[in-house]
Every structure is written in C-alpha cells, then in structure tokens.
Structure 1
C-alpha cells in the first residue's frame, strides 16, 4: 500500500479546515484578534473614527455612522437568515417533532436563564449594570460549531445536531429578549405600519406568489418601518423571514433558495464585518481594576459557569427523570464539553451589549472584555474536554 507523501500529510489538516464547519469559527477568532490589535495600535483613532464619526451624508437620518449601518442595517441580513433557519427547523426540521425538540428547547431555556441569574448575582447590585443581564445568555452558533468542526468525527453526530438545535432555539430566545426588553419609546404609527407591511407579506404567501422580488421589496419596507418604530430594526429580518413561502417548486422552496443564497454572505461578510466593528476593545486606560470590575466578571462568569451549569444540569435532570433522553451515543463527559461550548457568546452577546449600554462606552468596553474572555475560556475548555473524552473514528484517522 502506497504511503501518503509528507507534503500531503502536512497539508491535509489545513485542507480539512477550509472545507469544514471549523473555518467560520477560525475566521471569527482572527477577525476579533485583528479588531483588538487595530484598536490598540497607532491606527486606533482611524478605527474609532471610521466606525463612529458622523457621516457627511446618509440617506437615512437615523443611521448617521458606519457603525449604525452595520448594526442596524447589515445585521438585519444576519437576523433574516436566522429567521429562515428557524422557520425551516420548525416546519420540517428538528423542531417540528415535539419529542425531538423537547430536550433542546429545555436546555436552551436553562442555558439562558442560569447565565442571566449568575450575571445578576454578581452585577445586579449596581443599577447601572442590571440592564446587561442578557449579555451572557446568547450562544454564537458559528463559533461553537467551528470548535466542533475542529474535532471532526470525535463528536457523535447526535451531539452535533443537539448543539445546532440548542443554538437555534437560543437565537429565538435572544430575538425575543431584544424585542421585549431592549425596546423603548415605541412610535405606534410606525408600529402599525410595520404590522400592515407584515400582513402584506403574509398575503403574498397566501396568494402563492412565487416571485422573490415582491418579498424582498416588502422586507426592505418592513425594515424601514421597524427602524422608525422604536423596536430594534434587526427584528424586521426575523419577522420578514417568517413570511417567506416554504412550498416545493422545482425540487426546492423559496425559503431554501434564499437561505442558500445568503448563508455565504452572512458567514463571510456580514458577521465578520460586524465582529471587526464591535470586537475592538481599547485597552488603554483599562487596568486590572476595570478588567476585574463587576461587569466583565459577571459576563465572563455567566458565559463560562452559567451556560454549562444550566444546560448540563437540565440534560442530566431530564434524562434521570425520564422527561427526555440524552443525545444518542454521547457520554456524560462529551455532553459536558458540548455544554461548555455553549458559553461561546461572541456575535449575539456583542450585539446585546451595544443595546444594553447605548450611551456608556466604558461599560460597553468592559462588557466586551467579559464576552471575549468568557468566550475564549469556553472554547478552549470545551475543546479540551471533548478532545480528551472522545476518540476519532478509523475514517478520521
């Protein structure tokens, strides 16, 4: 049997990285690192000015900085894809079967509630910080699946599916949290207009309109109405996605076609650009006192301790009481490692931090420290637990 060449052996892991789920996670890590480096380099003023200085001209007055265009407009595409994924899973995926969705839904709810409780336990005594309770409640699906991708066949397929489903339910929870708890000064005229536009999109679906253009135009109008309503504009992305038809046409559906067309743009442009614009932490002036202040400690502890405690204890309790079975072919050490990975809260946590402290840059910077530190610890610890508790298949070897 011919032995593989030394070059092929050396290149194989790199090639596998670029064709696996791991690449998206690695890309986000690189983007976050680059943002931190730039924010603490001689280019720091250029970085800050580019994203936060008022624009000389903008077609929408509410979006008068590049940062706002990214967070309020471009991220609507991210939430639209999230909405498409959620609808697909509810209609024909893992959330369609009550028995299959029971454990992931329970685990996701516990994985949001316990981190929030841990946060409030540490930082809730300060009224200025209480609004950040939802920051450690979110899981970054790209990061978490990226770490799982690095482990290849060491992780059972059932555990991968479980993590993906938990992350999707987590996204639903995060969207609801943003809509309910981070909305102020509602403008009812714009809210009614938003409801009318959404009704129009549903009418297009019911009338079996098969052209994409009316849905796309309707989604843009809905986004503009929501932007002016007082509800965060990105919620329009999720709401619009719920109106997209999922009827078979030529072997696929409009929903699947849109999702496949946008998922690459989402993974390699929207989220990395958001990460670069939001992950940059200016460390100048932030000493040990700020790094170990109640806010970063609360966020980090919520992600590292709260997530794993909430999710793992929920799975253990449900399995022991016969409420739901743990994922097949997965040992408790593997389940623990996967629960730890859910503490990676990069994208959605950064997003919620901006909403929680919109007028206080120092608190946002401190929250970023907690998010980045907590996510890094969760990623390294989760990877180590899964690596030590699993063995690769012969095919992977």
Structure 2
C-alpha cells in the first residue's frame, strides 16, 4: 500500500497531537488534585452566555473536530483507502466488530440498569492517541498497518457520530431541525453550482450549528454533514475541501483536542474513587475497550476475509490486526464525549471517566508492548 502525501500529513499531525493529549491529560489531573483544585475546577464550570466553558468546548469547538473528521472521510471515500470497495471493506468490517462486541459486553453487564445508556462509551476509538502510540514504534510499522488503523479509527468515529445522533437525542424540535437541514440543502445547491468560495459555507455552517443546537440533535453532527457539502472538486491542493482540511489539521490536533482533554479530565479523584470500579458500568467500559475491541476487530476482519467480503493486504498479518485492535481500545476523547451525553449524574460521569482513563491506558500499553514484540521479531 502506498501512503499519499495527504495521509502522511494527517498521520504526522495526529502523532504529535497524541503526545500533546497525553501531556495535558496528566497536567489536568494533577491540577485537579492539587491545592489549586477549587479554582481550577470552578474555572471550567464558569458561566459564559448561559453555558459553562466546558459546554462551549464540547458543543462548539468539537464541531470543528467533527468537520475535520468529515473532510478526512470524504477524501478517503473519493481518493483514499475507502475509494476501492475491496480495500474499504476490511476496515469497515473491523470497525463494525470493534463497535458491536464492546457494546454487547457493556449491555450484557448493564442491561436493565440505570447505566445501560452508556453502551456507546466502549465503542469509540481515539484517533490521536492510537496513532500517537503506533508512531512510537518508528519505521518498523508497515505502511499498510498505519493506513488500516487510521481508516478503522475514522470509520469508528463515524459510527460513534451515528450513535450520538440516533441514541443520544432526547427531544427534537422539528422546526429547528428543518431549518438546519434547509440550510444544508442550500449549501448543497451552492456546491452543485460550483461555488468554491469558502465564506458562504462557513457562514451557513455557523447558522446550521445554531439551529441544530436548538433542535435537540447534538450540534457537533453539523461538522460532519457540513463537510460533505464543502466543494471537493478534483481533490487537489487548490480545491476548497483540501485547503480547509489542511488548515484545520494543526488547530484541531494542537489546540481543540487538547483543550477538550483538559476541560474534561479535571477530575477531583476522591479517596473512595476505586468504589466506582466495582460497578457494572466500569466493568463494561474497561472490558469493552480492553477486551471487546481487539476481539471484535480481529473476529469481524477474519469473518470478512474468509467470507470473501474483503481481502488482507500482503504486508498485513493477523498479528498486526490484533495489535491494531488493542490500540483501538484507546477510547479517551470519543468515549468521554459519549459519557457526557449518556449520563446526567455527576458521580456516574466521574467514575466513567476514571474507567475510560484506566481502560485507555491499559489498551495503549498492551497494544504498544504487543506490537513492539511482533515487529521486532525476525519473522512475524
């Protein structure tokens, strides 16, 4: 498999973003459990225009992150790994397994309880962290494995977005939703009329975000659907889609995601923090991410290849797929994001975040150690 320049740039940005995410998460946890605890936590809860600063980050800035995900997905569909059905089928099957099995494990432990709504939490994969850890293995990593993991994570995020839209929407204002979709329809017409100026799309996107926010459907969905009306053209460096995607890479990786991590990991860990880990919710999250992810990704990839739905690239081995599955268990950003939507009880949210941090750390360590072992052997 050949790595395109666009993909290489994306991989490099996510790699550096993953390292920054790790640093700011540790810093945030330290500050939240230091003598600065009270002012630090209250800062993120400070009211700003009727919403907390954290809320603006989660519902506002994260829309830009989802816009970038949408642009990446569009590029992959037109010119990348997903443009060939046979190539696309493998990461699609893997992503489906990586969502279905973890959610099933969670529901098996939580069905009929107050926490069953958290089934979407272990379904997610954090692109930045997963790629960041993979990059630590250096040039031993086959290009096909980098492409597979990235495509898997992007599809996984799309799945998480669909889950958010379908299952975490409580009440809908159909008028606001109709206006938001009407704006999207207008932008689609501009696209078909070959209007390449980015300004109308950005203004329309902001308006669409406002009405989506007031519709009951999570506002971040705006980012993804907006991406698919941004003119793609031939996908070259002069295209509107490429220029916007290229512009967003660094702000998202180096500012938006770290800010999200800081705001959502300012967790005051109490002396009884471990009691929450005895709950089926925590078991479901940890088992779903650490065990369910690699099993689901490997199992569904194996089924897809043996059923003739997809093929395994020559440079990829089943041991590689298992290692990618382990790294897929790093939920972090998306898992925390879904946690906030799934639960209203602050205590459950805190315990869920702690479970996510533990599971993501274990998945990252297991994935790194395992892949380092198999990649340094003479024969894989």
TM bucket, shorter chain: over 0.9
Q: CA deviation at 1:319?
A: 3.0
Q: Is the 8 A contact 1:153 1:392 kept in 2?
A: no
Displacement over 6 Å in runs of 4+? none
Q: Is the 8 A contact 2:121 2:338 kept in 1?
A: yes
Q: CA deviation at 1:101?
A: 0.7
Q: CA deviation at 1:251?
A: 4.8
Residue 252 of structure 1 aligns to a residue whose secondary structure is coil
> Of the candidates 282, 300, 307, which is equivalent to residue 296 of structure 1?
282
Q: CA deviation at 1:121?
A: 1.6
Q: Is the 8 A contact 1:143 1:344 kept in 2?
A: yes
Q: In 1, Cα distance between the equivalents of 2:323 and 2:317? A: 10
For structure 2, the residue ranges without an aligned partner over 5 or more in a row are 1-11
Counting helix residues as a fraction of each chain, which structure ranks higher? 2
For residue 388 of structure 1, what is the aligned residue in structure 2?
373
Q: CA deviation at 1:46?
A: 1.3
Q: Is the 8 A contact 1:123 1:130 kept in 2?
A: yes
Give the TM-score normalised by the residue count of structure 1.
0.89
> Of the candidates 2, 21, 34, which is equivalent to residue 28 of structure 1?
21
Equivalences for 1:310-349 in 2 at 5 Å? 310-349=296-335
1:85-111 CA distance string (max 9 Å, x none): 111111222112111111111110110
Give the TM-score normalised by the residue count of structure 2.
0.93
For residue 70 of structure 2, what is the aligned residue in structure 1?
83
For residue 363 of structure 1, what is the aligned residue in structure 2?
348
For structure 1, the residue ranges without an aligned partner over 5 or more in a row are 1-18
Residue 83 of structure 2 aligns to a residue whose secondary structure is coil
1:218-259 CA distance string (max 9 Å, x none): 111111110111101111111111100111488531101000
Q: Is the 8 A contact 1:152 1:392 kept in 2?
A: no
Q: Is the 8 A contact 1:308 1:340 kept in 2?
A: yes
CA distance 1:196–1:20, change in 2 (3 Å): closer
1:324-346 CA distance string (max 9 Å, x none): 22232223322211111100011
For residue 156 of structure 1, what is the aligned residue in structure 2?
142
For residue 102 of structure 2, what is the aligned residue in structure 1?
115
> Of the candidates 371, 379, 385, which is equivalent to residue 364 of structure 2?
379
Greater C-alpha Rg: 1
CA distance 1:288–1:210, change in 2 (3 Å): closer
1:9-44 CA distance string (max 9 Å, x none): xxxxxxxxxx78532212111111111111111212
CA RMSD of aligned residues (A): 1.8
> Of the candidates 260, 284, 307, which is equivalent to residue 274 of structure 1?
260
CA distance 1:243–1:333, change in 2 (3 Å): same
